């Protein structure tokens, strides 16, 4: 069985990261699993972790009062779950619920953001990577807002 070190080093999110930084990240990492239906985090809770989904599917949801929850997006194998751990006040903005059995690597966000504060080079490396994830999410959300498959798109 692979240890977390190679798994993290091979992940695109950490590509080309210095060895000392990788070691630090591995020290903040642990294997976790969530059963289908299990909440990984809930809106308003403190955001002190983030996750690399190794296998499975996670729904990012919001639940309007008195209504069924709405799934905004799903996160699957190899993708990064969560960025609120790096944005004050460090609270989750949405719920995350495992749609199916999900295995992931959990990273201690509190430890990493302290390290980012202490070592700005490390902080730049992490934020640089995270901005790409946030940018992709923002772009996808904007396209979803367009409702491109609505009635204006006739064929």
Partner 1 sequence: MDVANPMVPETRRVKRVIRETHDTLTLCVEPGDDEAERSFAPGQFNMLYAFGVGEVPISISGDPGKPRLWHHTIRDVGTVSHALTQLKAGDTLGARGPFGSAWPVTASRGSDIVIMAGGIGLAPLRPAIYAILAERDQYGEIVVLYGARTQKDLLFSKEFESWRGKYGVQVRVTIDSAGPYWKGNVGVVTTLLPRVRFDPAHTVAMICGPEVMMRFSVIELKNHGIDEKNIHITMERNMKCALGFCGHCQLGPTFICKDGPVFSFDRIKPFFGIREI
As a whole number of angstroms, the distance between CA 28 and CA 141 comes to 30
**Does 73 sit near partner 1 (CB under 8 A)?**
yes
Sequence-distant (≥ 6) Cβ neighbours of residue 113 within 8 angstroms: 85, 86, 90
Picking from 75, 70, 67, the residue whose alpha carbon sits closest to that of residue 102 is: 75
Task: Identify whether the C-beta of residue 84 lies closer than 8 Å to the C-beta of residue 91.
Answer: yes
- Number of residues located near partner 1, criterion CB under 8 A: 29
**Does 2 sit near partner 1 (CB under 8 A)?**
no
The distance of Cα 54 from the centroid of its chain, to the nearest Å, equals 12
CB of 67 to partner 1, least distance (A): 10
Residues between 83 and 122 with contacts to partner 1, criterion CB under 8 A:
99-100
Among 62, 101, 131, 143, binds partner 1 (CB under 8 A): 143
Which residues form the interface with partner 1 (CB under 8 A)? Answer: 57, 59, 68-74, 76-79, 99-100, 136, 139-140, 143-144, 146-151, 153-155
């Amino acid at each position: 069985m692979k240890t977390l070190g190679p798994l993290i080093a091979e992940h695109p999110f950490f590509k080309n990261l210095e060895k000392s930084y990788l070691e630090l990240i591995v020290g903040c990492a642990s294997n976790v699993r969530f059963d289908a239906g299990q909440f990984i985090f809930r809106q308003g809770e403190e955001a002190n972790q983030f996750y690399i989904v190794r296998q499975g599917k996670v729904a990012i949801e919001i639940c309007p009062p008195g209504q069924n929850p709405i799934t905004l997006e799903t996160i699957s194998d190899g993708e990064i779950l969560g960025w609120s751990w790096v944005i004050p006040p460090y609270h989750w903005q949405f719920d995350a619920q495992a749609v199916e059995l999900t295995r992931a690597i959990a990273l201690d966000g509190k430890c990493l953001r302290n390290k980012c504060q202490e070592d700005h080079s490390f902080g730049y490396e992490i934020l640089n990577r995270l901005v790409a994830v946030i940018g992709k999410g923002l772009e996808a959300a904007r396209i979803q807002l367009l409702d491109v498959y609505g009635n204006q798109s006739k064929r």
